[in-house]
Amino acid sequence: MNNDAVIQALRQALAADPRNGPLWIHLADQLMAGGDRAGAIEAVRMSTQIRETARAAGKRLVSLLREDGQLAEALIRAEALLDDDEDPDLRAELELILELRGGAVASDADLSAPAEIAAEDADDVEPAAESSAAEEEAREPALAPIAAPGADEPDENWADQFDWGDLRVTFSDVAGLDDVKKQINLRIIAPFTNPDVYRAFGRDGGGGLLMYGPPGCGKTYLARATAGELSARFVSVSIHEIIDKYWGESEKYVHALFEDARSNSPTVLFFDEFDALGASRGRGDNSFWRVFVDQMLQEMDGVDSRNRDVLLFAATNMPWNVDPAFRRPGRFDRVLLVTPPDAEARRQILTKHLAEMPGGRALDVDAIVAKTELYTGADLRHLCERAGEAALELSLTSGEIHDVTQAHVKAALGKTQSTALEWFATARNHARYANEGGQYDDLVSYLKAIRKW
Ligand SMILES: Nc1ncnc2c1ncn2[C@@H]1O[C@H](COP(=O)(O)OP(=O)(O)O)[C@@H](O)[C@H]1O
Ligand SMILES: [Mg+2]
């Protein structure tokens, strides 16, 4: 059996026996051997969910993530494991991660051993006392953006560093997903535009909406479109970025972010890659990480009236990694599955992309729709680009414009596939074995409907 056949056999075995931790590890080994690190990471991730293999897999995951440059998560996981049990290998791994992070500064004195290492790093990156102001300006500011709003007098320019998203997108740009749009309308837009009606029913705004689903299906796009619908400001923050950039100061940053949103309302505040917060499970109380999560919770809780004009969204491809504390009432208690476009939505997306290419309007869109079941929005764009490239290449070599043809699309179809399939395989296991409180009921119905259950 060649490597691919082994992998396929393992996947089949795991479909029948997904609680088999060692088998997931074995799959990870095979995937690594074939050079598929992303796949290996996913497989190891699965075996971290199984008690028997959790710790060994956790260690393995730390190394893989570190190799993959996913340092924020690697660090968090290494720390969590070290909180449970000291381990020289892991300690060395942690030091390596901290070294790779380089510019990151840990100022939290509560961190034990790793803090000392990080503090040494801090000496390297903090401007020496005698460095000129101009030099300081020129540096990538490690912590400066936080200092401003965290201090007594907020710096008005502070917010300029973000991409506020001038580009206006509305629901009409998002193809399909009618149920999701309806839920966003009911739960986010309407409470904002009709606060009195909601109050009459004893409901107050507050809380947020968590979107999950395979990558490339429009979660970020929907959050942006919600802001567009309301002509609200859109602020998108990646959790990984907060961890990487504002290490040791991130709770101040989070506070500043919320304060900024409150004083510039309405603002859609969107937290991307929200699963990064979930790696906190099992961590000690003194960890910086706990402080950060608590700060997030504090900003979301107890100050409902102040948050009234702050519309909170979060998105994740890995809802199973989201800290359950965030799912309680008043927080991200509303969870929405964002799925790949259905046939009608695919027709819309394809029509729009193809219209931008020579000859694109003459193509048989319905034929492409039929061949792209479960393609994500991003996959469809990629498909069109590939087909377009073939025609572009012909045009460049011949010196005259060549139309995109159905043959180009067909060739591109042969080279692409739905990137959501991998996600469905992983998600199915979580939905089968970790569907506490029916949290994945939507997913179960969907998987059944697309015959992936
Ligand atoms: N339903 C959709 N309608 C239109 N475009 C879509 C849709 N889903 C995805 N896309 C396209 O794919 C891109 C990637 O989507 P994105 O929102 O970043 O996905 P996610 O956040 O779920 O990973 C979007 O910018 C958009 O161009
Ligand atoms: Mg996204």
pLDDT at 129 over 90: no
- Atom 4 in ligand 1: which residue has the minimum CA distance? 174
Q: Is the CB of 218 under 6 A from ligand 1?
A: yes
Model confidence pLDDT, tens digit, residues 281-335: 444 434 666 777 788 888 887 555 667 778 899 999 988 888 778 888 778 888 9
State the closest ligand 1 atom to the C-alpha of 177, by its place in the atom list counted from 1: 1
Place of tokens 């029948």: 16
How many whole angstroms from 277 Cα to the centroid of ligand 1?
23
How many whole angstroms from 404 Cα to the centroid of ligand 1?
23
pLDDT at 279 over 70: no
How many whole angstroms from 251 Cα to the centroid of ligand 2?
23
CB burial of 24-43 (b: ≥16 within 10 Å; e: otherwise) equals bbbbbbbbbeeebeebbbbb
Per-residue pLDDT averaged across 197-224, rounded?
85
**How many other C-beta atoms lie within 10 A of the C-beta of residue 82?**
21
Please provide the average confidence, as pLDDT, over all residues in the chain.
Answer: 80
Q: What percent of the chain has pLDDT over 70?
A: 80
The per-residue pLDDT for 203 is: 67
3-state SS of the chain is CCHHHHHHHHHHHHHHCCCCHHHHHHHHHHHHHCCCHHHHHHHHHHHHCCHHHHHHHHHHHHHHHHHCCCHHHHHHHHHHHHHHCCCHHHHHHHHHHHHHHCCCCCCCCCCCHHHHHHHHHHHHHCCCCCCCHHHHHHCCCCCHHHHHHHCCCCCHHHHHHCCCCCCCCCHHHCCCCHHHHHHHHHHHHHHHHCHHHHHHCCCCCCCEEEEECCCCCCHHHHHHHHHHHHCCEEEEEEHHHHHHHCCCCHHHHHHHHHHHHHHCCCEEEEEECHHHHHHHCCCCCCCHHHHHHHHHHHHHCCCCCCCCCEEEEEEECCHHHCCHHHHCCCCCCEEEECCCCCHHHHHHHHHHHHHCCCCHHHCCHHHHHHCCCCCCHHHHHHHHHHHHHHHHHHHHHHCCCCCCCHHHHHHHHHHCCCCHHHHHHHHHHHHHHCCHHHCCHHHHHHHHHCCCC
The per-residue pLDDT for 445 is: 96
How many whole angstroms from 270 Cα to the centroid of ligand 1?
15
More confident residue, 125 or 89: 89
Per-residue pLDDT averaged across 151-160, rounded?
41
Per-residue pLDDT averaged across 81-93, rounded?
87
Instruction: Indicate the burial class of 298 (C-beta count within 10 angstroms; 0-12, 13-18, 19 or more).
Output: middle
343-417 and 3-124 share a CATH fold: no
The band of 204, judged by pLDDT with boundaries at 50, 70 and 90, is low
pLDDT at 219 over 60: yes
Tell me which long-range contacts 435-438 makes (C-beta under 8 A, separation of at least 24): none
The band of 79, judged by pLDDT with boundaries at 50, 70 and 90, is confident
The per-residue pLDDT for 287 is: 61
pLDDT at 136 over 50: no
Q: Which CATH class is domain 343-417?
A: mainly alpha
- Tell me if 249 sits within 8 A of 143, measured CB to CB: yes
- Atom 1 in ligand 1: which residue has the minimum CA distance? 175
More confident residue, 224 or 45: 224
Q: Give me the architecture of the 3-124 domain, per CATH.
A: Alpha Horseshoe (1.25)
Model confidence pLDDT, tens digit, residues 7-18: 989 988 888 887
The per-residue pLDDT for 212 is: 96
Please, which residues have CB less than 5 A from ligand 2, an ion?
Answer: 219-220
The per-residue pLDDT for 176 is: 96
The per-residue pLDDT for 280 is: 44
Per-residue pLDDT averaged across 58-84, rounded?
84
How many whole angstroms from 238 Cα to the centroid of ligand 2?
9
The per-residue pLDDT for 2 is: 77
More confident residue, 229 or 304: 229
Highest mean pLDDT among 115-129, 248-262, 295-309, 382-396: 382-396
More confident residue, 24 or 250: 24
For 115, residues 6+ apart whose C-beta sits below 8 A from its C-beta are 106, 108, 109
More confident residue, 238 or 248: 238
pLDDT at 140 over 80: no
- Domain parsing of the chain, residue ranges: 3-124, 147-153+159-337, 343-417
The per-residue pLDDT for 439 is: 87
Model confidence pLDDT, tens digit, residues 365-413: 999 999 999 999 999 999 999 999 999 999 999 999 999 999 999 999 9
pLDDT at 182 over 90: yes
Per-residue pLDDT averaged across 188-197, rounded?
84
Q: Is the CB of 378 under 6 A from ligand 1?
A: yes
Q: Is the CB of 217 under 6 A from ligand 1?
A: yes
Q: Is the CB of 175 under 6 A from ligand 1?
A: yes
Q: Give me the architecture of the 147-153+159-337 domain, per CATH.
A: 3-Layer(aba) Sandwich (3.40)
Per-residue pLDDT averaged across 62-74, rounded?
85
The per-residue pLDDT for 239 is: 82
The per-residue pLDDT for 451 is: 93
Lowest mean pLDDT, pick from 30-34, 70-74, 274-278:
274-278
pTM above 0.85, yes or no: no
Per-residue pLDDT averaged across 344-370, rounded?
96
Q: Is the CB of 318 under 6 A from ligand 1?
A: no
The per-residue pLDDT for 262 is: 87
Task: Tell me which of 221, 226, 317, 374 to substitute to probe ligand 1's pocket, judged by most ligand atoms within 8 Å of the beta carbon.
Answer: 221
